[in-house]
Amino acid sequence: MTHVTPTRLSDGRELIYFDAREESAARHRNADATRDERGLPARGPAGTARYDALSGEWIAVAAHRQSRTHLPPTDQCPLCPTTAANLSEIPASDYEVVVFENRFSSFGPDLGDLPAVPGWGTTTTAYGRCEVVAFDSAHEGSFGSLGPERARTVIDAWAQRTEALSAMPGIKQVFCFENRGADIGVTLLHPHGQIYAYPFIPPRAATLAARAHEFFEASGGTRTLMGHALAAERESGERMVIEGEHFSAFVPFAARWPLEVHLVPHRHVADIAGLTGEERDELTTVYLDLLGRLDALYPTPTPYIAAWQQAPIDDVLRPASYLHLQLTSPRRAADKLKFLAGSEAAMGAFINDTTPEKVADALRAATPAPAAPARKDQA
């Protein structure tokens, strides 16, 4: 059981402690022990969203993010527990997993609906919400460095926040993700991820949802596109990396990136909140195994983006959408990265420098390093 304890920071932002252990939860229920003493000024207004009539896409304009924290020294990390010398974003002396509203939010905190019929020059409030998920109190690491108990708590946090954010007015898509590595653009070394609650369905998610809906309708509502792909990959086995009871991981047939793996539940489920306890247990194990294999490919840690594709909050598109993780990395060799240049950046036409089959072979053969000894608070 994961204990959920909400509180507020001094500028009014919500912060939520997620604890697997009752003794941790009890500390966080003590208001005196978790009071934010910084006296932060009131939050500024939300940013804006501009409509690009040429593409039909919404663009967030968040100039206030230029001043966000960038690779601070350890003793000034905003995600470490608070000390007398460092009053951080997390006003507790220790914690397991914490979620809080991003101080430098691209969307929100205002909630509402975007104009139904935007046109050239339409500008509106960038409604929505952006949250930070601190995976652990240790200063350095990533999801893959967590112990199983802590990783399972993060999954429960993703599920709780997905359900809560999906119910907020105007939200159309909830996106949980982790950026790992300076080559991806990470600005904090502390192990963390983010959750964006968009007031629209983002372009990539919209494309996936539309294709899934088209396939679902053509089957008379009996088959899903991702379920079809998963069955084909399991039958072939050529690109399979891990196959469990509830989850499988495979390199997709038409991978865009040098390293790309899809982690897919065997059961059709819309989002992380819909996973059963048994499914979350296996997801913990399989996901840690997969990240370990990714890091075993080269002598140094592999940069990646771990992107959870969840069903849009849309009555038409949601029934056909299928939860899955898209794990991608631009690393194409030990000392080389793939950069999005002309064809990819300008035209969206990807050219892969590797073959999915060779990548799958390498990941199957990779041996994850033994897990680091867990701290006494991280089983």
Q: Which of 192, 213, 262, 324 is catalytic?
A: 192
pLDDT of residue 74: 85
The tokens 């941790």 sit on which residue? 24
Is residue 378 pLDDT above 90, yes or no?
Answer: no
pLDDT of residue 178: 97
Q: Is 246 a catalytic residue?
A: no
pLDDT of residue 187: 82
Per residue in 248-288, pLDDT (tens digit) is 999 999 999 999 999 999 999 999 999 999 999 999 999 99
Is residue 375 pLDDT above 60, yes or no?
Answer: no
Report d(CA 14, CA 185) in Å as an integer: 26
Per residue in 329-366, pLDDT (tens digit) is 999 999 999 988 899 999 999 999 999 999 999 999 99
**Residue 139 annotated in ligand binding:** yes
Length of the chain: 379
Is residue 45 pLDDT above 90, yes or no?
Answer: no
Per residue in 99-158, pLDDT (tens digit) is 999 998 999 999 999 999 999 999 999 999 999 999 999 998 999 999 999 999 999 999
pLDDT of residue 72: 82
The answer to whether 92 touches 81, Cβ cutoff 8 Å, is yes
Per residue in 185-201, pLDDT (tens digit) is 888 889 999 999 999 99
374 or 137, greater pLDDT? 137
The answer to whether 345 touches 339, Cβ cutoff 8 Å, is no
**Residue 176 annotated in ligand binding:** no
Report the pLDDT averaged over residues 188-217.
97
The answer to whether 359 touches 259, Cβ cutoff 8 Å, is yes
**Residue 80 annotated in ligand binding:** yes
Is residue 232 pLDDT above 90, yes or no?
Answer: yes
pTM of the model: 0.96
pLDDT of residue 67: 59
Report the pLDDT averaged over residues 217-237.
97
Is residue 311 pLDDT above 90, yes or no?
Answer: yes
Whether the CA torsion 149, 150, 154, 157 is positive or negative: it is: positive
pLDDT of residue 374: 55
Per residue in 62-90, pLDDT (tens digit) is 877 655 666 788 889 999 999 999 999 99
Which residues is 6 bridged to in the sheet? 16
Burial class (CB in 10 A: 0-12, 13-18, 19+), 141: middle
207-210 contacts: CB < 8 A, separation 24 or more?
208/309, 208/321, 209/311, 209/312, 209/314, 209/317, 209/320, 209/321, 210/317
Per residue in 158-183, pLDDT (tens digit) is 999 999 999 999 999 999 999 999 88
Report d(CA 154, CA 134) in Å as an integer: 9
According to CATH, where is 3.30.428.10 located in the chain? 3-40+50-57+65-201, 204-365
pLDDT of residue 62: 83
Q: Which two tokens stand for residue 76?
A: 């000034």
The percentage of residues in the chain with a pLDDT greater than 70, rounded to a whole number, is 96
Report d(CA 324, CA 314) in Å as an integer: 18
As its CATH architecture, domain 204-365 has 2-Layer Sandwich (3.30)
**Residue 130 annotated in ligand binding:** no
pLDDT of residue 316: 98
Whether the CA torsion 273, 275, 276, 277 is positive or negative: it is: negative
Topology of 3-40+50-57+65-201 in CATH? HIT family, subunit A (3.30.428)
